Amino acid sequence: MKKNIAVIEGDGIGPEIMKQTIKVLNSITRKYNHDFHYQNVLAGSLAIEKVGDPMPEETIDICLKSDAVLFGCVGDPKYDHNSIGMRPEDGLLKLRKKMNLYCNIRPIIVYSQIDKSPIKKELLNGVNFIIYRELTGGIYFGEKGRSKNGEKAYDYCVYSKKEIEKIGRMAFQSALLRKNKVTLVDKANVLETSRLWREVIQKIALDYPDVNLDFLYIDNAAMQIIMNPKIFDIILTDNMFGDILSDEASVITSSLGLLPSASIGNKKSMFEPVHGSYPQAKGKNIANPLGCILSASMMLEHFEMHEEKSILEKAVKKSIEDQVCTSDIIDSKFSSTTEEVGSFIEKYIQNQ
């Protein structure tokens, strides 16, 4: 099968993890005779430096014309306190909006061989849930601004029934293939948008009598993810709550570096690890490539290349079983480099 894939390496560790991801994908395409064509495009801080825009129109254009986008990560601390009013992250948000990537899927899987979680082992056995995070609405994209004298600032949180319904249905569909449970996480005791979410989701639930729907307030959900993570199957939530809960959930798996995600739109989709650009590790060959590699595996699934996806996941599992891992998930005395992890997975696939 022929596919055109736009690749955004981005900032920090982005180029290193993407290099391993493409290497692994090449071993899949060789094996299955696929023809993937990769086109590198500019975004993030490099794009600010070169063309003064963290998401140039040309990049958006190429992404919209491609079959899928693979995204590394963006962000650079030098933009934290500067006055140019532009950040690499703005580029990512603009691309999500332009591609209409309304549904962000973040699987949270605990691997029993990894032992770096701060949570007690007995709470973690078999934890496997997915966060469905709304990605193009809410407080991230509502009107924002400052009062004239600069003394006040505001960020509006707005949701329409339509926006909630689209991601809601996807979450229920996914639950049908899993443990038939959806937990809506909100703050309906305080926020009007949360009350609208409840109204819409309760209505959708009528179409899915086999799926059990329950509700948790965000503060309680944050606690349950730590105390009782086994209760979750699908967590459905808005943009801001989903952002926060996914970082929290990563901690119970041992490392943010492990988490992949798929951002699904009406027509186009993008695949991006959950972690940021980790600038302290840039160029050191220590970053965990698995978040990005597993995002590529979600891309294969999206292309309906099921066998390819499962062989890739098997290879990742094998690297974890054999402890060929970066130092975020294994004792640093025995750890492997970013490149060694990529090569192990590549070889495993070749030898299947």
Residues, the chain = 352
- Stretch touching ligand IPM by CB under 6 A, among 44-52, 76-84, 89-97, 218-226: 89-97
Binding mask of the shown chain, residues 259 to 278, with x at each position contacting ligand IPM by CB under 6 A: ---------------x-x--
Of 54-62, 84-92, 194-202, 236-244, the window that binds Mn ion (rule: CB under 5 A) is 236-244
Q: How far apart are CA 259 and CA 278, in angstroms?
A: 14
Strand pairing report for 2-10 and 35-40: parallel
Distance CA 55, CA 43 (A): 5
Residue nearest to ligand IPM (CB): 89
CA separation for the pair 85, 28 (Å, rounded): 42
Residues in 174-213 at the binding interface with ligand IPM, rule: CB under 6 A: none
CA dist 75 and 11 (Å) reads 6
Q: Among residues 243 and 346, whose Cβ is nearest to Mn ion? A: 243
Residues 185-206 as b/e (b if ≥16 CB within 10 A, e otherwise) read bbbbeebebbebbeebbeebbe
Contact 17, 72 (CB under 8 A): yes
Size of site (CB under 5 A) for Mn ion: 1
Closer residue to ligand IPM (CB): 54 or 337 = 54
Q: Give the ranges where 177-258 is alpha helix by DSSP (H).
A: 192-205, 218-227, 239-253
Strand partners, 241: none
Would residue 219 show up in a list of annotated catalytic residues for this protein? yes
| Contact call for residue 89 and ligand IPM (CB under 6 A) | yes
Give the pairing of strands 269-271 and 262-264.
Answer: antiparallel
Does 163 bind ligand IPM (CB under 6 A)? Our answer is no
Report the residue from 89, 243, 308, 346 that binds Mn ion according to the rule CB under 5 A.
Answer: 243
d(CA 130, CA 146): 36
The question of whether 243 is a catalytic residue gets the answer yes
| Residue with smaller CB distance to ligand IPM, 78 or 121 | 78
Which residue of the set 140, 159, 278, 348 is catalytic?
140
Rounded CA separation 231/54 (Å): 40
CB of 259 vs Mn ion, minimal distance in Å: 10
Binding site partner of 328, from Mn ion, ligand IPM, none, Cβ cut-off 5-8 A by kind:
none
8 Å CB contact between 73 and 43: no
d(CA 21, CA 345): 10
Binding mask 223-262 for ligand IPM (x = CB under 6 A): --------------------x-------------------
Only one of the segments 29-37, 60-68, 86-94, 199-207 lies at the binding site for ligand IPM (rule: CB under 6 A); that segment is 86-94
Residue 95 touching ligand IPM (CB under 6 A): no
Residues near ligand IPM, by CB under 6 A? 75, 89, 92-93, 243, 274, 276
Please list the active-site residues: 140, 187, 219, 243, 247
